[in-house]
Amino acid sequence: MPLWIQILPGSDEPIYVQVAEQISKAIARGELASGDKLPAVRKLASELAINPNTVARAYSRLEQAGLVTTKTGSGTFVSDPKLRRSDASDINMLAERMDTLITRGLNLGLEAQDLIVLFEKRLAKFGNKSNKQKDEK
């Protein structure tokens, strides 16, 4: 699956964050599977017409999040989900983000059940990936 990244200059998110977020989304959706190689920093920089340091920053952000690992000399690879660290603070942060969404939903007048249905619908978009992981088990 080719990686499609779009840069939005003038956004309040710095470009390295935009690149990192779009790659982590591709990983979450299974478009990039564990073991897949990310494009070389220089290649992605020239394709997107952005500074190579910006790409390098995006990759190191992904590495800090445990989503990719860099092997010196051979490149950056999507890491094995089983080896990804997800400590309590990461999960906490996720929970806090969900609070924002729940607040918005409730303010729109949705009931708890509506929210759950909505959540499941959206989750289905990532279907390939979650099924695949179940099959492996």
Partner 1 sequence: MNEIVLETEALTKYYGGTLAVDHMDLQIPRGCICGFVGRNGAGKTTAIKLMLGLLNPTAGSSRLLGCDSSALTPAIRQRIGYVTEGHRLFRWMSIGGLEKFQRSFFPKQWDDKFFVDMIEYFDLPKKKKIKHLSNGQRAQVSLALALAPNPELLIMDDPTLGLDAAIRRQFLEGMIELIMRQGRTVLFSSHILGDVERVSDRIVVIDKGVLRANCSLEQFQKAIKKAILSFADSVPGDVNIDGLLHCRRSEKQLELTLVGTDDEKISEWAKSAGAENYNIVKMNLEDQFIEFTAPANHRRLFQWEER
- Site membership for partner 1, residue 9 (CB under 8 A): yes
127 DSSP 8-state letter: H
Q: How far is the C-alpha of 123 from the C-alpha of 1, rounded, in Å?
A: 20
- Site membership for partner 1, residue 46 (CB under 8 A): yes
Report the residue from 1, 7, 28, 117 that binds partner 1 according to the rule CB under 8 A. 7
- 107 burial class (0-12, 13-18, 19+ CB within 10 angstroms)? exposed
Stretch that binds partner 1, among 3-11, 80-88, 101-109, 114-122 (CB under 8 A): 3-11
- Site membership for partner 1, residue 50 (CB under 8 A): yes
Q: Which is nearer to partner 1, 1 or 7 (CB)?
A: 7
Q: How far is the C-alpha of 120 from the C-alpha of 54, rounded, in Å?
A: 35
- Site membership for partner 1, residue 6 (CB under 8 A): no
Q: Per DSSP, what are the bridge partners of residue 75?
A: 71
* Minimum distance from residue 107 beta carbon to partner 1 (Å): 17
3-class secondary-structure state, position 109? coil
Q: Are 63 and 70 in contact (CB under 8 A)?
A: yes
What residues make contact with partner 1 under the rule CB under 8 A?
Answer: 7, 9-16, 42, 45-46, 49-54, 57
